[in-house]
Amino acid sequence: MSGSADGLGDFGLWVYLSRTPLLWLTVTLLAYVAADRISAALGRHPLANTVLIAVALAAGMLAATATPYRTYFEGAQFVHFLIGPATVALALPLYRNRRTVWRAILPMGAALLVGALAAMVSALLIGRAFGIPGTVLAALAPKSVTAGVAMGIAEGLGGDPALAAVLVLITGAIGAVTVTPLMNALGLRDMRARGFAAGLAAHGLGTARAFHVNHVAGTFAGIALALNALVTAILAPIVLRALL
């Protein structure tokens, strides 16, 4: 703390900058650029996930400077806001690959129903076996769905929307990190199936990962993300009532 009595000097500058959106927006982009370099240097290993590294770097900055998340988000919201437009933009790869997509309509429909139920039922049964109470299970049920929808579903089931968002992001990180090695271990080479699974089980983070791997995989991940939001919104109340 080297600030002079009138609040100017080094510390005064920090106080000023840390309150403007500019600082934390810049930190978010720099953390991502650094994370991307680190991920590339590690040969894009699935564990060296760019989002996870960037989150760790930015969270480290927040902790080191004792900055509250609310202050950070005033800058970072400009990036966060773009999730909505990016979801709309998924229409373009869908359109470009419309013939491939249309040919796969039956495999997609079957995989959608089986996958959505498998992800939700297994999470709820394991949670119940560990004695997790019903209100927390309500936040757990929509964990494979994109965050905005999951929060709405959880709230409708009597769960905490904020907890749902946290569980959604952790699910996305697990899916993004495991999908490539898992699919390789299964010997599955169909990029449509691999991408569809990533988008269904791990929403936007799985979709981002799929686009890194292959354009067809990314397209099918985007479709799965959108369809699973619809299917889980319909199935979650039914499944939760049946299991509790």
Q: Please, which of residues 37-96 interact with other proteins by CB under 8 A?
A: 50-52, 54-56, 58-59, 62, 69, 72-73, 76-77, 79-80, 82-95
164 lies in the site for other proteins, by CB under 8 A: no
Token pair 């019903």 is found at: 134
Q: Which residues, 6 or more positions from 66, have their beta carbon under 8 angstroms from its beta carbon?
A: none
Residue 243 Cα distances to 50, 78, 126, 200, 238, angstroms? 37, 40, 11, 22, 9
Number of residues that bind other proteins (CB under 8 A): 114
3-state DSSP call for residue 75? helix
Instruction: State the Cα–Cα distance between residues 48 and 165, nearest whole angstrom.
Output: 23
- Which one, 3 or 21, has the nearer CB to other proteins? 21
Quick check: 144 and 116 in contact, CB under 8 A? yes
- Which one, 138 or 140, has the nearer CB to other proteins? 140
Cβ 224 to other proteins shortest distance, Å: 7
Residues 1-40 that bind other proteins (CB under 8 A): 28-29, 31-32
Instruction: State the Cα–Cα distance between residues 214 and 41, nearest whole angstrom.
Output: 20
Instruction: State the Cα–Cα distance between residues 154 and 84, nearest whole angstrom.
Output: 20
- Which one, 13 or 91, has the nearer CB to other proteins? 91
- Which one, 13 or 33, has the nearer CB to other proteins? 33
Cβ 77 to other proteins shortest distance, Å: 7
Site string for other proteins, 214-233 (x = CB under 8 A): --x-x-----x-x--xx--x
3-state DSSP call for residue 62? helix
What sign does the dihedral 108-109-111-116 (CA atoms) show? positive
Residues 135-154 that bind other proteins (CB under 8 A): 136, 140, 143-144, 146-149, 152-153
State the helix-helix crossing angle for 191-213 and 105-129, rounded to 10 degrees: 80
Residue type, 206: G
Site string for other proteins, 98-137 (x = CB under 8 A): x-x--xx-xxx-xxx-xxx-xxx-xxx-xx-xxxx---x-
- Which one, 8 or 92, has the nearer CB to other proteins? 92
Site string for other proteins, 178-207 (x = CB under 8 A): xx--xx--x-xxxxxxx-xxx-xxx-xx-x
